[in-house]
Every structure is written in structure tokens, then in C-alpha cells.
A and B are shown apart, each in its own frame.
Chain A
Amino acid sequence: MKRLLAIAWVFVFAIPFSAPAAETPKKGGGLIVCVGDEPPGLDPTASASAAIDRVVYSNLFEGLVKVDRNGRLVPGLALGWEISPDAKTYTFRLRQGVRFHNGEPFNAQVAKWNLERGAAPDTKNAHPEFFRQIEKIETPDDSTLRLTLKDVNALFLFQMAEGDAVLLPMKGYEDTAARPIGTGPFRFVEWRRGDSVVLERNPNYWNPTLPYLDRLTFRFIKDPSAQVAALKAGDVDVLGWILAPEIARGIARDNRFKILAGSSTSEVIMSTNNKAKPFDNKLVRQAMAHAIDRKTVNELVMLGYGTPIGSHWPPITPYYVDLTKKFPYDPKKAKELLAQAGYPNGFSARIQLPAIYPYAQKAGEVIADMLGRVGIKLKIEIVEWGFWLDRIFKQKDFELSMIGHAEAWDIGIYANPNYYFQYDSAEFRDAYQKALRATSEAEKAKWFARCQEIVAEDAVNGFLFVSPSLSAMKAEVMNWWKDYPTIALDATEVWWNK
């Protein structure tokens, strides 16, 4: 039965998803995508920088599995996989006939070498634990890869779909940071430092219909207003990632352009120090949860582009449970809870907001106003990023703060009592372990849901909204990813309708 379930799961997740397109895609043309940060190198297996993945993930490099535009797992260099009943052994069937951009063939040996490289003691990989959990790698033939894990890990496949786990060629890998060689739909042409990275169509891509574009360029423009100016002047075709919603609104007025407003995996939370008085009192935290009108927060901070949340889980990630109704906006109830907690007249506290993130400052001002209405007087302090990292994140010396947690699948931070918000719950740790060790799909769904419920019930942090994924582009650019389920600006299926 379990095996059947496992196979069924593979089946569900392995159907290649293609976006509904009203017209058939046209081939040709070049696309210039504007991004804010220039990557420090182009090797995603040697750095944690998100700027690298935005350029290369699924464009230039591929892993065994990929995350698609809807946050689901789809086959990458593995055609499919089978999971043993004890959920410890994964057997991947690999694509045959795939070649790297330099002509080297891809096979099970190459995959094995990559996984061993990630686990090596001197690895530069940002997540060596992804690979060190593998106990045994077997390659019965060129197109079969069998991995046995030390322990069950429900997130293993998602980890294999991260940028850290893309596969490099065995011979041409040394210069990856400067001249990357992968298997993806686009191959590297040149990197003009300080300006752009240019990729071109890989004519030998394993999917002969993809990509549609001939050329894909990433241009680096830091300043948001300069980005908008570049788009309006026609210097770039797409703004891949807009931080300020009001900028999106300004562009939307011009009918030469369109805005895609999707969802990301960045949960914006009012971080609450669960060890600091009076926030160590669950009633106080629940009172604050009742005092926050999430819909209005989203309206005021994100102009309505974000998605309200009730727990630490993005709606576009599998196993999501909607808990936004758990603590509905109810200032009266909030005051009652405060009175129960021994603060009938409220109290004063300090909220420190990181200066580099405008959304955090805006959300802080709005929250201060809302909490003020139930008697919690917040003193706002804007702090530098270095101060935030040191004092709040490292030394845990704070009461309240505001920050977006960008990584997908990051609810595990609540299992660590030493994490900066210092939430210590044996019940949560137990539920999280059970989720990670779940061997069936139903078990995973059950325990990941339980994890979400526990942190919501304990009102660990103020759960506000997930940041929108806002992109702007010329009206003729088709099929760009609307959501941002993983760190990627995948242009494989993008085409020009002109």
C-alpha cells in the first residue's frame, strides 16, 4: 500500500505542467531581464547567494528534480523516481542522451560524482547536509541512480530541487563561477561585469521544443527608479523582481506594459522574542494576533498585492493550511486577553525595524497603529542591517521586530529554541520530527499541517502576509512565471507574442 502511495505521489508530481496558453508559442527573439543584484559568481553549488539562482536556476543549470512555476516538483535530469516503502531509498531513472553545453555526456556516474562533491569535507556548498544525509550511492547502469538515506527526510526531493543541488560536468566544472557549463535550455555566452550576463539558446536541449527564446540577457540595475526608467525606455523587457508595490502600480497605468502579481515564499512576520517579557505570555501574543487586521496590513503595506497568512507557511507551498481565521481581527477580544494576562491597561514595548527593507518599516508603522488601538504602545526604532543581524538575530536582544523569511520550507526554524525568536515547544519539535520522518504522503500532509497549527495557536510571531512576487514586462512577453515558489527567474517557456 505504502509503495503504491509513493508511486501515486510520483505520478501526481511528475506530470509536466504547462501553463495554459491561449495561443501557440512563437520561437525566436531575445529577452532582456532586469534584476537588482549582480551575482558574486555563477556557481550555485558554491554560494548561498540568491542572486546566482535568479540567473542560472533552470535556465543554465538543472538538477535531478526541478521546482516548476506552481511550486511543484517536476522531472529535471531524472525522468522519474521511485521511493522504497521505508522512504529511505530513492531510485531515479535518468534522462538518456543528455549532453552538457561543452558536449560531455550526462549519466549516472556524473550524478554520483556531483552528490559526492557536495558531501566532501572541503565542499564549498552552502548546504552540505543535503548531500551528507545520503548513506549510499549506487549506479547499477548509466541511467539508474539509487540513493539510500541515513534517515527518512520528507524534504529530500525538495532539497534536490534547490540550486545547491544542480549538476555540473565532471571535466568542465572548474571554472563554473566565471564560465558556467550546464545542461539547461540556455548556455553561457558572456558576463560583462557590472552590466549583464548573456545566455543563448542551447540547440541540443533535451526537450527539442524548448526554449522559445534565442537569447536571454540578465541586466543588473540596482536603483528601483532606474529600473522603471529602463523598462519605459525599452532598454529592458522585464523587471524580474519589484520590491515596492507602488512602483508596480505606476507601471500598470501604462498599457505598453503588464504587471504579474503572484505569490512568493517570503513570510513577513512581526518577530516576537518569546523569552522577553511580556511576550513570553501566550495570552499576550494571542491578544496581539487578534489586534492585527491582516487584510488592512496587506492593503496599506503591499497595496493589496500580498497574501495574508495565519501561520509560517506560504500558500503556494504544498501542504498549506489556511489559518488566517484562527485569530480574526477583534480588538475587543484582544483587550480581554490582555486583561486576562494581567495587562488591563496595555503596556509599552519597542519594535526595531531594519532600515534596508521598506516593507518592514511600513509594516512596523501600521502594526504600531493597530496595537496602539488596544493599548499596546509601540516605540518604533529604525535600525541598520548590521545592527539587526548582530543584536537581534545573533544576540536575540530585542522585543519585537519585522522581517520577511524568504526561504521555502523553513518552518523548521521553530524547532530550534536558539533561533532568534526563541520559541521553545516540545510539542512542535515532535510534530516537526514526525513530518520529516513521514513515509507516506498522507502522513506528511497531516504532520506539516499540525506544525502550522501549533505555531499559529501559540501565536509565536505576528503572522502578517507573504510578499507578492511582482514582475513587470512589455505586454508582448508571454508565459513569464507569475509566482515565485523558489529562487528562480526561469525563462524556459517564455516567448514573444509579436
Chain B
Amino acid sequence: MRRFFGNKNFTVGFLLSAAVVLAAALSLLWTPYDPNRMSALERLEGPSLRHPLGTDQYGRDTLSRILAGAVNSILVGLVTVAIGLVLGVALGLLAAYGGRAADEAIMRLADLLFGFPAVLTAILITSILGPSMVNAMLAIGIFYIPVFARLTRAVARVVWEKEFIAAARASGIGELAIVRRHVLPNILSPLLIQGTIQFAVAILAEAGLSYLGLGTQPPHASWGRMLNEAQTFLDTSPWMAIFPGLAIAWAVLGFNLMGDGLRDVLDPKMARLR
């Protein structure tokens, strides 16, 4: 543990990310106001004691909405990284050990997916499936599959050449068991690093899609959607845009720093190279 917290990047990133997770957890139990409750009398109020981050055009409390939006962001990060990890690792291992044909097919497919810009792919998928948070998560998750597949294949191949694998094979254990017991534990750190970074990317992507109206649907709070709604109020009520913007920056910075820190600690060779 000390190894991790001795790293400045990791510590700062961890604290920032933990705050987001805590905020999300808190909002499930309590928010200052109902995040979706409108109140005509309190609309467009600036920050005050009653509404620390002000209110929006419908009189909804911005702080409550940012807290509720955190759930959204965390959920999107978790689900998309999970989709990417489960399917990506499976495909990556298959590519690494499944023979030339499987390798070729999977990697060319991954290249194809990589050929499209991420956001464009997501817009395409959500416009086919219809805009919703679930579909946005699906869209981002699908894009993550090749990311993790490539990584898995590369590191799994390196591990396969190691002596302990040869030893395991010599002792007569089946290939699947070797993968499960010896390969997976050894490729965990790069996957963890990548997963943390993709978590940050997912938060940004969800905000982007929601900003475009393709992600979280109203009235549910989403940081990206809050930015979209605040756009025309920039002149008159800038806090409507500033606080959700800060929230996005906070969360993305947090998970990115944590990912960087993890890499420094778990993959010292990379750290030295930089």
C-alpha cells in the first residue's frame, strides 16, 4: 500500500476520484434537494447559502444535480470498462493463443473499429439504437473492446514466452488452466492501468454524448447535459456552466492521475522510459 501512496500522482488522483465516488454514493442516500424537482420561484439563482452552487433555469438545485450526475458518470465508467474488459480480454487471449486464423480475424476487426473516431462510432451506435444512457454505455463499451483486446494480446504473448509457463506446461497442466492460473494474474497490472485511464475517457465520452443529446435523457442529471442546458445562459447565469464543467474536469483529472500513478508504480520500466 505504501508503494502506491508514495506516488504523488496516484495519491492526488486517488483522492480526487474517491471524492467523486463518495459524492455518487452520498447522492443515492441524500441530496440537498430533489435533483429533478422544479421550482419556478427559485430559478436562475446565483450561488447562495440555500443553493451553494446556484439553480438552473427551472429552479433545480445545481449541487444536487452535480451529485446525482456523479452516479451517472461512475456508472458509465464502470459499465463501459466492464464491457471492454470482459469481451476485450477474452478476445485478446483468443487472438494470442487461438491460432493464426483467430488472431488475424480478431486483430483486423479491432483495426477496423479503431479506424473510426470514437465519438463518431458512439454517435452512429446511439443514432441506430436510439438515444439513452444504456445505449451510450453500450456505444462506449463496444469501442473499448478492441482497446483491451489489443493490450491483452500483446502482454499475453510476452507472458507465454516466460519460463514459468514452460514449467507449468512441462508439469502437464491444460492450456486453459495455465491461462487462468498463470497468464491472467500476470497481465492484471497493465489491464488495471488501462482500465483506470479508460474510466476517465468514458466519463468524458458520456458527457460529450449527453451534451449532444445522445446520452442521458432529461430530466435525469448528467454533467454533459447540464453544460448543454447552460450554454445559452452563459451571459446571464455563468454558474450554470461553470460547476458541471468543473465536475467533469475534476473527475477526468482524478482518474487520469490515478491511472498514471498506477503505471509508475506497477510498471517501473515504463516510468523510467518517460
Give me the interface of A with B, judged by CB distance under 8 Å.
224-225, 228, 244, 246-247, 249-250, 253, 296, 299-300, 355, 358, 361-362, 364-366, 368-369, 379-384
Contact = CB atoms under 8 A, between A and B. Distances in A.
A423 B40 CA distance: 33
A365 B58 contact: yes
Given A300-B57, A366-B38, 12 more contacts: A224-B232, A249-B236, A296-B40, A362-B58, A365-B38, A365-B218, A365-B219, A368-B219, A369-B38, A380-B219, A382-B213, A384-B127
B58 A300 contact: yes
Contacts of B46: none
Contacts of A381: 130-132, 217
Contacts of A250: 235-236
Nearest to B236: A250
Contact of B36 (A296, A355, A369): A369
Nearest to B212: A355
B147 to A, nearest CB: 29
Contact of A369 (B37, B234, B237): B37
Given A246-B236, A249-B236, A382-B131, A369 B219 contact: yes
Q: What DSSP secondary structure best describes chain B's contact surface?
A: loop
A391 to B, nearest CB: 11
A295 to B, nearest CB: 9
A253 to B, nearest CB: 8
Interface string B187-222: 000000000000000000000000001000111000
B232 A380 contact: no
A414 B40 CA distance: 33
B217 A246 contact: no
B160 interface: no
Contacts of B36: 369
A244 B232 contact: yes
Contacts of A246: 57, 232-233, 235-237
Contacts of A380: 217-219
Interface string B124-158: 00010011100000000000000000000000000
A366 B58 contact: yes
Contacts of B233: 246
A300 B40 contact: yes
Interface residues of B, number: 22
Contacts of B182: none
Given A224-B232, A244-B232, A366-B58, A300 B218 contact: no
26 contacts: A225-B232, A225-B234, A228-B235, A244-B232, A246-B57, A246-B232, A246-B235, A246-B237, A250-B236, A253-B236, A299-B40, A300-B40, A300-B57, A300-B58, A300-B59, A355-B213, A362-B58, A365-B58, A366-B58, A368-B219, A369-B38, A369-B58, A369-B219, A381-B131, A382-B213, A382-B217
A247 B235 contact: yes
Interface in B227-259: 232-237
Contacts of A253: 236
Contacts, number: 59
A362 B217 CA distance: 12
Contacts of B51: none
A310 to B, nearest CB: 20
Contacts of A247: 232, 235
A355 B130 CA distance: 13
A365 B234 CA distance: 20
Contacts of B218: 361, 364-365, 368, 380, 382
Which 10 interchain pairs have the tightest Cβ spacing?
A250-B235, A244-B232, A296-B40, A369-B38, A382-B213, A250-B236, A365-B218, A380-B218, A246-B232, A299-B40
Contacts of A249: 236
B274 to A, nearest CB: 41
A358 B219 contact: no
Nearest to B132: A381
A380 B235 CA distance: 28
Interface in B12-50: 36-38, 40, 43
Nearest to A384: B127
A362 B57 contact: yes
Contacts of B37: 369
Contacts of B59: 300
Contacts of A355: 213
A208 B219 CA distance: 57
Contacts of B217: 379-382
Contacts of A300: 38, 40, 43, 57-59
Contacts of A379: 217
B214 to A, nearest CB: 8
Contacts of A361: 218
Contacts of A384: 127
Contacts of B213: 355, 382
Contacts of B40: 296, 299-300
A422 B30 CA distance: 44
A253 B59 CA distance: 21
A223 B237 CA distance: 19
Residue from A358, A361, A369 having most chain B Cβ neighbours under 10 A: A369
A361 B59 CA distance: 16
Contacts of A362: 57-58
A366 to B, nearest CB: 6
A369 B35 CA distance: 12
Contacts of B234: 225
A306 to B, nearest CB: 14
